[in-house]
Amino acid sequence: MKLGLLLWMMMGSLCVNAPETPPDSVLVAFWNLENFFDPFVDSTRTYNDYTETGGQHWTLSRFYRKRNNLYKAILRFSQQQPIGIMGVCEVENDYVLNALFAQTPLKRFNYRWVHYEGPDRRGIDPAIVYSKDRFQLIYSEAIPYRNPEDSAMISRDILYAKFFDYRKDTVHCFVNHWPSKYRGERETEESRNWAAKLLRQKIDSIVNAADNLPKIIVMGDFNDTPDAPCIHEILGARHPSECDDDDLLVNLFAKPEDLGFKGTLKYQESWMVIDQIIVTKSLLNNDMLHCTSSDARIIHEGFLLEEDNTYQGQKLNRTYLGPKYHGGFSDHLPVMLLLRY
């Protein structure tokens, strides 16, 4: 039996841990797709490791295997229903987004996407994918990362899009991929602080221009945990149980024990929640589009994980293990939020 067919049968036999999608509701999701490159040489960039002759030996067959893994996983954890808005990161370009969302069975959901070529050295960007049947795009922009205290630091843009839902209610969405801890946690802490300041400034500008508290969804790979100062203090996103009356942002992923799994990324023996969805208070207990903290989930389907023989328990079923091709899905788990009308 071919590996792809066997995998699909295994996926179909597993218990779904995504929230059930009742009528008159919409799914929101985020997933870091782990270096989703096309296999072609880009003559405009110096980084071309993800090509057949590059350091990662990234062939067309490996690209299609990853593409197929991703679309089957998305269909599985969405229960073959359209995802209203899905943030992704580590995508190279429009080619890979088109291959995933327009050239697979996902195309029946009429997905469109927002993507801008950003400044990342490797050429990986965030993108916002949305179902055209559920949302109408009104405006979008890429917000450049700037750290006035370290002008040499280059990082991904923050991606912003404004939508109307099918009831003509306005929804604002931000997708983030903040600077990593590659050079060390302390050495890079200030870079994430500046990303938080930039995002909060943009959110405040939307709030100040609105008559009522707007509906804002913030999602992404923040490369830090919910209790880190950049998220908890600078961005001001806290668990509902910690929020004061004056707080604007609610972090629905601040308590792993409520999310069905212990983290979205594993480093050695430790799981961490660095992929999160944050909303304004206007999305809690609203008469129109709304959610509760129990509507947030870390998607941990069995096929996204495998046995960890080094640190025990489970680890992520990744595309690469260091320089070695492994053929899995991603080095992050997806996160999801159910919004109800």
CATH number of domain containing 88: 3.60.10.10
pLDDT at 22 (0 to 100):
53
Residue 9 lies in a domain: no
17 found inside a domain: no
43 within domain boundaries: yes
In terms of Cα–Cα distance, which of 157, 123, 152, 153 is closest to 140? 157
The verdict on residue 3 lying in a domain is no
Does any domain span residue 14? no
Alpha-carbon distances of 134 from 137, 172, 217, rounded to whole Å: 10, 14, 16
Burial of residue 270, with CB atoms counted within 10 A of its CB: 0-12 exposed, 13-18 middle, 19 or more buried: exposed
Whether residue 16 lies inside any domain: the answer is no
**Per residue in 138-187, pLDDT tens?**
999 999 998 888 888 899 999 999 999 988 899 999 999 999 987 778 78
In a domain, 142, yes or no: yes
- pTM of structure: 0.93
Tens digit of pLDDT for each residue in 40-82?
A: 999 999 999 999 999 999 999 999 999 999 999 999 999 999 9
Domain count, the chain: 1
For the chain, what percent of residues have pLDDT higher than 90? 82
Domain with 96 in it: 23-340
Whether 2 has a pLDDT exceeding 90, the answer reads: no
Mean pLDDT, rounded, of the chain: 92
322 assigned to some structural domain: yes
Per the CB < 8 A criterion, the answer to whether 156 and 199 are in contact is: no
